[in-house]
Amino acid sequence: MQPIIEVRPESVLIHHRFQVPIGGGDEADIGPDGAVASYALCPMIFLAMPEMTRRGAQIVIDYLLDTLPLKYRRPIGWTVTLATALVCLMGAWITGAETWRQYLQGIETVLAFAVPKWWVSIFVPYGLLSSAIYFFRRLIEAPPVARTDEAVA
């Protein structure tokens, strides 16, 4: 995380002072520190994703669910959770297949500090698959107790 903290503010300052794209406009121009920072973003996001899903800390827009009566809220919430789990599962399948292809073909990144691309992208299917498992687990858990301000319809 330290390279990101060190490189990103500098890139932003250069961007605003000299009116150049962050990173110089060409990925090959990013130095080794910038490359490491760029590579570190993927694991940081997709290793945190399953834990955020487990805690239920993902962004939830539940305006629609909160306006529904309790008898509709649970089935629709269950359906949305199922759809989310299936989307994560499909995403894991697609990104897993792409990561496997990168491994078989020996594809490398194009930044100044080249590494096998699958070293970076392997975290994407892991995060999506793990999150899908947590969403499926949520489907079979007992529903939460109704709030005291809700009447059973």
Q: Taking a C-beta distance cutoff of 8 angstroms, is the pair 77, 135 a contact?
A: no
Question: Is 150 domain-assigned?
Answer: no
* Per-residue pLDDT at 49: 93
How far apart (Å, rounded) are the C-alpha atoms in residues 135 and 83? 9
- Taking the whole predicted model, whether its pTM rises above 0.75 is answered as no
Question: Is 22 domain-assigned?
Answer: yes
Question: Is 71 domain-assigned?
Answer: yes
Question: Is 148 domain-assigned?
Answer: no
Question: Is 108 domain-assigned?
Answer: yes
The percent helix, strand, coil of the chain (3-state, each to 5) is 75, 0, 25
pLDDT at 89 over 90: yes
Question: Is 7 domain-assigned?
Answer: yes
Q: Higher pLDDT residue, 49 or 26? A: 49
Q: List, for residues 58-84, the tens digit of each pLDDT value.
A: 777 777 788 888 888 889 889 999 999
Beta bridge partners of 108: 116
Residues spanned by the domain of 135: 2-140
Q: Higher pLDDT residue, 15 or 101? A: 101
Token pair recorded at residue 141: 């858990």
User: How many structural domains compose the chain?
Assistant: 1
Q: List, for residues 98-152, the tens digit of each pLDDT value.
A: 999 999 999 998 877 788 999 999 999 999 999 999 999 999 987 666 555 555 5
Beta bridge partners of 116: 108
How far apart (Å, rounded) are the C-alpha atoms in residues 132 and 86? 7
Question: Is 149 domain-assigned?
Answer: no
Question: Is 109 domain-assigned?
Answer: yes
Q: Which residues contact 140 (CB under 8 A, 6 or more apart)?
A: none
Radius of gyration of the chain (CA): 21
pLDDT at 7 over 70: no
